[in-house]
Amino acid sequence: MRKLSYSGGCQCGAVRYHVDGALEGAHLCHCRMCQKAVGNYFMPLASAANQAFTLTRGEPKWFHSSDPVKRGFCENCGTPLFFKTIGSPTIAVALGTLDDPSAVPPERSDGIISRVTFFGHINELPNNEIDRSDLSGGIESIRSTNHQHPDHDTDNWPEAAS
């Protein structure tokens, strides 16, 4: 059975949202506009009914990537969050911004005319752990100074220092 309640937000925690209902049409969009919007090879999206969607913290900034479409992002950290067709009864959320991104697996690929040629071979790449030996203190220096919002709702963020 599919989950029917989702929370998510940006990397810094300034914008948080909740979907009280289904996320439909989960897909990877490979179109060039989505590639540029997220700075990646594709953008994972799924749609929620407007009435099921609530901002629970902050307000996104919006950029009209075309006349009928706007994209919401956090103005503090730059995280791409939403895709909205003007007048549509739905809003699409970027699946990587969900607190549990694995809860909504993609069902299809869209915009494949712009899909990068090596996409079908990504799973053949070697898997390596990040050691970050280039940093003083290695990966622990990142973990111990992490400013990223946790993957759950918080009453306050950033949390007050104790």
* pLDDT the model gives residue 16: 98
Does some domain include residue 119?
no
**Which residue range is the domain that position 90 belongs to?**
6-113
User: What is the model's pLDDT at position 44?
Assistant: 98
The string of pLDDT tens digits covering residues 28-54 is: 999 999 999 999 999 999 999 999 999
Residue 29 near residue 54 (C-beta atoms within 8 A): no
CATH number at residue 74: 3.90.1590.10
136 lies in a domain?
no
The size of the chain, in residues, is 162
pTM score? 0.87
Q: Are 86 and 52 in contact (CB under 8 A)?
A: no
Q: Is residue 159 part of a domain?
A: no
Number of domains in the chain: 1
Distance CA 147, CA 32 (A): 31
**Strands lying side by side in the sheet with 53-57:** 6-9, 16-19, 53-57
- With respect to residue 94, please indicate whether it lies within any of the assigned structural domains: yes
Q: What are the tens digits of pLDDT across the range 147-159?
A: 888 889 988 877 7
C-alpha span between 62 and 129 (Å, rounded): 36
Is 26 a member of any domain?
A: yes
- Residue 150 in any domain: the answer is no
How much is the pLDDT for 130? Answer: 74
Which tens digit of pLDDT belongs to each residue from 67-121? Answer: 999 999 999 999 999 999 999 999 999 999 999 999 999 999 999 999 999 988 9
Token look-up 């909740």 returns 18
Residue 158: asked if its preceding bond is cis (omega within 30°), the reply is yes
In a domain, 42, yes or no: yes
- What confidence tens digit (pLDDT) does each residue in 3-29 have? 689 999 999 999 999 999 999 999 999
| Residue 75 located in a structural domain | yes
Distance CA 101, CA 148 (A): 16
Q: Give the contacts of 51 (CB within 8 A, at least 6 positions apart).
A: none
User: Would you state the pLDDT for residue 162?
Assistant: 43
